[in-house]
Amino acid sequence: MKFMHFALASALAITPAYAHSDTKPRHGGQVVEVGETAFELVRAPAGVSLYIRDDGDDVPASALTAKLIVTTGAKKSEVPLVAGKDSQSFAKGLKIPAGSRVGVLIINTQTQARQSATFNIQ
């Protein structure tokens, strides 16, 4: 019986632990994870995109309303995002300078559940 407990404990000790979400950027942006939800913010010449993954799966942007709260120095502005293809929401033409702080608020249009994240732009 002692051997069985030892064998079980040894097997558990060498089993790797897996995270629920993937924190690697899939679109070349900056990723922040809140619980099991990963937010990816991508700054590009055409504007800013936001991608959402929950427990590793893409969340369709059409199921959400989203906005950014951008703070640069003493200036604060709210920018609504438009649902794009698949999990992409975007703000065409938006430029976010380095050093800004960006709050993200998403609302599930069906359940009205809210979730937020904060990015410190480098």
Q: What is the pLDDT along the chain (122 residues), one digit of tens a residue?
A: 443 443 434 444 443 444 444 678 788 899 999 999 999 999 999 999 999 999 989 999 999 999 999 999 999 999 999 999 999 999 999 999 999 999 999 999 999 999 999 999 98
Note the pTM of the prediction, 2 decimals.
Answer: 0.80
At 79 the pLDDT is 98
Q: Which residues contact 87 (CB under 8 A, 6 or more apart)?
A: 51, 52, 53, 58, 59, 60, 61
Tell me what pLDDT residue 24 has. Answer: 82
Answer CATH for 20-120 from 2.60.40, 1.20.1250, 1.10.3470, 2.30.29: 2.60.40
Give domain limits for the chain: 20-120
For the chain, the 3-state helix, strand and coil shares in percent, each to the nearest 5, are 15, 50, 35
